[in-house]
Amino acid sequence: MIQALINVFKIAELRTKVLFTLGMLAVYRIGFWIPLPGVNQEQLRESYLAATQQGSAFAQVGQYMSIFSGGAFSQSTIFGLGIMPYISAAIIIQLLQSVSKRLQALKNEGPSGQQKIQHYTRLLTVALCIVQAFGLLQYFRSLGIVYPAYMGSPIWWVMAISTMTAGTVFLMWIGEQIDKYGIGNGASLIIMAGILSNMDDAILQVAAQFDPSPTATSSIGWLGLLMLIAGFVVVVAGTVLMTVAQRRIPIQQAKHTRGRKVYGGQKSYLPLRVNHSGVMPIIFASSLMIFPSIVFSAMAAQAGGGTGGEITTWQNITLWLRSNFEFGAFPYLFVYVAMVYFFAYFWITVQFNPEEMSKQLRDHGSFIPGLRPGPRTAEYLETVMERLTFVGAAFLAVIAVVPMLVQQSMNISFMVTQFLGGTGLLIVVSVALDFIQRVEANLLMRNYAGFLGGDAAGKGPRIRGPR
């Protein structure tokens, strides 16, 4: 590992890319601490801490947004929206490509069409930023944390919305510069940097709750600390395993004769990822599960008691809905897991096209042994992907539920438990693996030993398959 890091800085081009990437991420973290004018940061922090202790819907929204905005929701900065509007715009455009013939035509045009699609993504990002910034500022206003001198000023509204929009656009630009001049996926690295920035606070919280005395009941003892460390190691190892897991379908290339020579006949495989949908099902499910908590909390607040202090039937219903759809309740977990499965299959339906894959195999003169090219191959691929998706969705459901169960059973803050599973851990593992693989490819291309051992000549203890 140490020798691989030394080799990274031996290569001038790779060293420049790595240092440029780290410099752009440093600029992002510096901008994160620039506050938004007109918002009482101290009062916002106090409101967030009070909501966290009560477990309100505001705290759930803040915890979810902090994953993508790069820090706690207890402060409002120029990067308060994070990179998430750009990610949302890219996902929307990607989904529209499956139903819009114009976008499909642009996609098939090559680089020029991709530039137009990227332009549409940027315009949609700006529109989403304006809407989200306006809604966030309205919520700050309802909490009373906007200074009175700014609250009724149209100039402040324009300035605040423009500042938050410009912050997200600047982050989008940083991500594109990392894609062009750095190494790794820029937007994903920005999200990973924001998630890892909370790790020091999580460690400090665990240290503050740690009490080795056997009489302590509300603190973390040696057993709880060891369970947290072991759980982190096991969950990370399992996440890495399921992220890179593949189902390899054998592919046979047809033979053809040219003159006296026979070409083709080579064997290869078609890799199908077990977790083909990645982190998207958890993102969709988490974002949608915020709304029931907010709606039912508002309904319970609006439903006052009956005359004489008795509790009405409607109030009983609203209280039951609010208590059963709180973060970590059993009905909440059941609906959450069901939505993870639904979005896993939905994402595969949108992204995976067995008919197109079967057509490409036939056009390249390849086939799956024992299956006729065409509809039979497409049917087989669809069946295999459905079974893989069931396993992948089960893995995502476990990863999504683990933080809630740990938080409920050990009474630990969500800032700590998010590193034991959930969206944040999946993003960090996926981005870290992609980054290491890209650095590994650059090292092997120049005949240097990589992080996994071995070199371009295949010498050394490089990790290989079963054969």
What is the band of 20 on the pLDDT scale with cuts at 50, 70, 90?
Answer: very high
Residue 306 has pLDDT above 50, yes or no: no
Average pLDDT rounded to a whole number, residues 147-159: 84
- Output the pLDDT for position 75: 63
In tens, the pLDDT along 27-60 reads 888 888 888 888 887 777 776 666 555 555 555 5
- Output the pLDDT for position 461: 47
CATH code of the domain containing 147: 1.10.3370.10
Q: Which of 1-10, 67-76, 327-336 has the highest mean pLDDT?
A: 327-336
- CB–CB of 146/140 below 8 Å? yes
Domain that holds residue 147: 1-197+429-467
Alpha-carbon distance of 335 to 233, in angstroms, equals 28
Strand, coil or helix: what is 264? strand
Residue 464 has pLDDT above 50, yes or no: no
What is the band of 138 on the pLDDT scale with cuts at 50, 70, 90?
Answer: confident
Question: Which ranges in 245-353 belong to alpha helices (H)?
Answer: 280-302, 313-324, 330-351
Residue 300 has pLDDT above 80, yes or no: no
**pTM over cut 0.85:** no
Sheet architecture: strand order including 246-253: 267-273, 246-253, 366-367
- Output the pLDDT for position 53: 53
Residue 16 has pLDDT above 70, yes or no: yes
Alpha-carbon distance of 439 to 436, in angstroms, equals 5
More confident residue, 269 or 205: 269
What is the band of 216 on the pLDDT scale with cuts at 50, 70, 90?
Answer: low
More confident residue, 3 or 69: 3
Asked if residue 230 belongs to a domain, the reply is: no
- Output the pLDDT for position 307: 46
Query: Which string of DSSP letters, residue by residue, matches 339-376?
Result: HHHHHHHHHHHHH--HHHHHHHHHHTTEE-TTS-TTHH
Residue 195: which of 72, 27, 78, 23 has the closest Cα?
A: 72
Q: Which of 66-75, 159-168, 213-222, 316-325 has the highest mean pLDDT?
A: 159-168
Residue 130 has pLDDT above 50, yes or no: yes
Question: Range with the lowest mean pLDDT among 97-101, 259-263, 298-302?
Answer: 259-263
In percent, the amount of the chain with pLDDT more than 70 equals: 84
Q: Which of 158-167, 318-327, 398-407 has the highest mean pLDDT?
A: 158-167
| Strand pairing report for 366-367 and 267-273 | unpaired
Main-chain dihedrals φ then ψ at residue 248, nearest 5 degrees: -95, 115
Average pLDDT rounded to a whole number, residues 133-143: 81
Alpha-carbon distance of 290 to 245, in angstroms, equals 31
- Output the pLDDT for position 177: 92
Question: Range with the lowest mean pLDDT among 84-88, 135-139, 216-220, 291-295?
Answer: 216-220
Q: What letter represents residue 451's amino acid?
A: F
Domain count, the chain: 1
What is the band of 454 on the pLDDT scale with cuts at 50, 70, 90?
Answer: low
Q: Which two tokens stand for residue 121?
A: 């993504």
Residue 263 has pLDDT above 70, yes or no: no
Q: Which of 166-180, 183-197, 282-296, 361-375 has the highest mean pLDDT?
A: 166-180
Residue 214 has pLDDT above 80, yes or no: no
- CB–CB of 339/282 below 8 Å? no
Average pLDDT rounded to a whole number, residues 199-210: 78
Asked if residue 279 belongs to a domain, the reply is: no
Asked if residue 371 belongs to a domain, the reply is: no
Alpha-carbon distance of 40 to 56, in angstroms, equals 21
HEC letters along 85-150: HHHHHHHHHHHHCCCCHHHHHHHHCCHHHHHHHHHHHHHHHHHHHHHHHHHHHHHHHHHCCECHHH
Asked if residue 129 belongs to a domain, the reply is: yes
Q: What letter represents residue 218's amino acid?
A: S
Average pLDDT rounded to a whole number, residues 378-382: 90
Asked if residue 217 belongs to a domain, the reply is: no
Asked if residue 53 belongs to a domain, the reply is: yes
What is the band of 71 on the pLDDT scale with cuts at 50, 70, 90?
Answer: low
Q: Which two tokens stand for residue 103?
A: 């976008």
In tens, the pLDDT along 84-104 reads 888 888 888 888 887 888 888
Question: Which ranges in 144-221 belong to alpha helices (H)?
Answer: 148-151, 154-181, 186-196, 199-209
Residue 8 has pLDDT above 90, yes or no: no
Asked if residue 228 belongs to a domain, the reply is: no
- Output the pLDDT for position 215: 63
- CB–CB of 39/76 below 8 Å? yes
Write out the E strands in 366-433: 366-367
Name the maximum alpha-carbon separation found in the chain.
Answer: 100
Average pLDDT rounded to a whole number, residues 146-156: 82
| Strand pairing report for 366-367 and 255-258 | unpaired
More confident residue, 357 or 75: 357
Asked if residue 467 belongs to a domain, the reply is: yes
Average pLDDT rounded to a whole number, residues 148-160: 85
| Strand pairing report for 246-253 and 366-367 | antiparallel
Q: Which of 327-331, 407-411, 435-439 has the highest mean pLDDT?
A: 435-439
More confident residue, 422 or 399: 399
